Chains A and B, each alone.
Chain A
Amino acid sequence: MKILAAIKQVPARDTQLRVDTDARWIEEPDASEINEPDAYALEEALRLKEAHGGEVIALCAGPEAASQTIREALAKGADRAIHVEEDALHRFDVLGVARILAAAAAAEKPDLILTGLQSDDLGSGQTGVVMAELLGYAHATIIMQVEAQGSGIRVKRELEDGWFQHVDLPLPAVLTIQSGINRLRYATLMGIKKAKSKEVRKLTAAELGVPPAASVVLDRVYAPLRVKRTVMIEGPAAEQAARLAAILRDEVRVL
């Protein structure tokens, strides 16, 4: 099976986010990491390859700095990577980014494209579905299990309120992967060493024929207004704990 894992680099979870001066995006974060659902998508791709043979190609659109995430994917076991290098990806809308990825993917003719169900930064949750439509592939979203079955696959979709559903799909297909589908591996020392000699093909959006157009414009980024007034309990930890316990006894009345 030839599997493409579309992964994205996002600001690390614990970094401070600062809105940039024109309030259109954020300043360069201090630390970055792979988008969490994408890590699960990559892991699932590696497991499918281990079970059925084939190849895993990591596909990433993002700035030069995203090579960190690409190297990690190669160290974990991806065979090679495609890096669509774009400094200002936020100038493309959802459709634009999916066009970039679809154009890069089309040339590879993969059997399966796996990606996270949404990103931790933009959170649109659309990239996989839009790619499928652009490529004419079948798709399924919020996937918690993938099994090869005859010439196609059977997947387990997560539905709302604790329900699930199996869906049979022909290949080629796009799946958007939910966090928790598998247990993530760590890169081994050997893997890190091997990654250095693996191929990373660099492309640009312009080379793929996708101009930075947005029919939906991001107008302004800002910190949300607090809607409800929270009673903040200040002081050192011991004092905070004592006051909260008193509140539980006297105001909330559960002690």
Chain B
Amino acid sequence: MKILVVMEHSRGAWHRMSWETLAAAQALSADVEALVAGHETGELAQELARKRLSRVHAMESPLLAEYTADAFTATVAGAVERIRPDLVLFPHTYQSRDFAPKVATRLGRVLVSDVIRLRDDNGLVMTRQLFQGKLNADYRAAGPGPHFASLQAGVGRADAVEAGSAEIVTVRLDHGEPSRAVPHPPFRESSRAIDLTAAELIVSVGRGIKEKDNIGIVEDLARALGAELAASRPICDNGWLPMERQVGSSGQTVAPRVYLAAGISGAIQHLVGMKGSKTVIAINKDPDAPIFEIADYGIIGDLFEVVPALSAEVRKIKG
């Protein structure tokens, strides 16, 4: 099986998930090629050439200096037609979300997105989550390739990428239409007033809290423990807590000694922001909530009963 991995970088730095995707490809096949698209990709291509790959494709054009869906779609779709892989893999990043479906559609194919497991079992089987992680589904790619998939964080391990040596094929694209979208430089909203990354203890609240007025009970637990208060995205979307307290792929990435999640279901976008925590404690009324898959300690129960009781117990111990 010939696999083409579409690597992602910005301003000369690799996106870490590209390496994870590459490692997953290497684990599946002896014939892996990698593609890097950009303006001056010389050094990036050199680095790839020191990995166990059959070939490195460096797609070069001034039109690729900044990411645009139009230019990247034309470039990658063109490359897939030339390289003819059986499987094209993308890391499931925000950038891939923006253009990988477009590449597949242009070639009349279907992208299987956000894949959490990839295996060969009389054909390619791709596992992805349904219902925000409550169920899993196995998808099978039918018929001849190229098949397309984007891989969630953690499918492969970045440090498992095998070394080797590969030839570099540089393609200079001198034609191509300018992008319809005109991107401006990326920016950050404001300097973060709250730095959760340094916190030793975090108490995090999710939609199970139901109303803004109820946040006080979780805040009180944080106070009792001497912990920082954090939240899942919907809490911040609703304006119940400031954005700066959001943990997850579009919030902060934290790794405290203890992360206590109350009324948080454990969607993948939340988990990627806290799964490095040393001890995870989950309080949730749903025994099937995905958060229990990564929790060290779990309480199945009503947070409105458990959390105030816990605050009281903590205060008892602390005296």
Contacts and interface: CB of A to CB of B under 8 A. Distances in A.
A107 interface: no
Contacts, number: 237
A245 B181 contact: no
Nearest to A142: B94
A69 B288 CA distance: 27
Nearest to A238: B309
Contact of A248 (B135, B181, B192, B314): B314
B50 to A, nearest CB: 27
Interface residues of B, number: 91
A221 B99 CA distance: 27
B216 interface: no
Contact of A126 (B111, B135, B290, B294): B111
B142 A221 contact: no
Interface string A225-237: 0111011110001
B14 interface: no
Given A125-B97, A162-B250, A254 B258 contact: yes
Contacts of A9: none
Q: What 8 A-B pairs have minimum CB-CB distances, sorted nearest first?
A: A180-B237, A241-B309, A245-B313, A237-B305, A126-B101, A138-B180, A166-B184, A241-B310
Contacts of B301: 237, 240
Given A129-B102, A165-B186, A248-B258, A233 B297 contact: yes
6 contacts: A11-B131, A117-B97, A219-B138, A221-B137, A224-B136, A228-B296
A244 B300 CA distance: 12
A17 B134 contact: yes
A214 B207 CA distance: 35
Contact of A124 (B69, B113, B288): B113
Contact of B257 (A166, A219, A228, A254): A254
B238 to A, nearest CB: 8
Given A93-B110, A244-B310, A219 B182 contact: no
B86 interface: no
Given A133-B102, A249-B317, A179 B237 contact: yes
Given A129-B98, A216-B141, A165 B130 contact: no
A233 B295 CA distance: 12
Interface in B174-190: 180-189
Contact of B258 (A124, A160, A223, A252): A252
A132 interface: yes
A94 B110 contact: yes
Contacts of A232: 297-300
A227 B110 CA distance: 29
Interface stretch (A58-66, A167-175, A200-208): A167-175
A106 interface: no
A14 to B, nearest CB: 8
A25 to B, nearest CB: 9
Chief secondary structure at chain A's binding surface: mixed
Contact of A141 (B97, B125, B130): B97
Contacts of B225: 248, 254-255
A255 B136 CA distance: 38
Contact of A218 (B101, B139, B143, B186): B139
Nearest to A252: B279
B106 interface: yes
A79 interface: no
A52 interface: no
Contacts of A221: 130, 135-137
A158 B98 CA distance: 11
Nearest to A40: B237
Contacts of A238: 309
Interface string B209-229: 000000000000000010000
Interface in B67-118: 69-70, 73, 93-94, 97-99, 101-102, 104-106, 109-114
Given A216-B141, A244-B310, A231 B296 contact: yes
A254 B310 contact: no
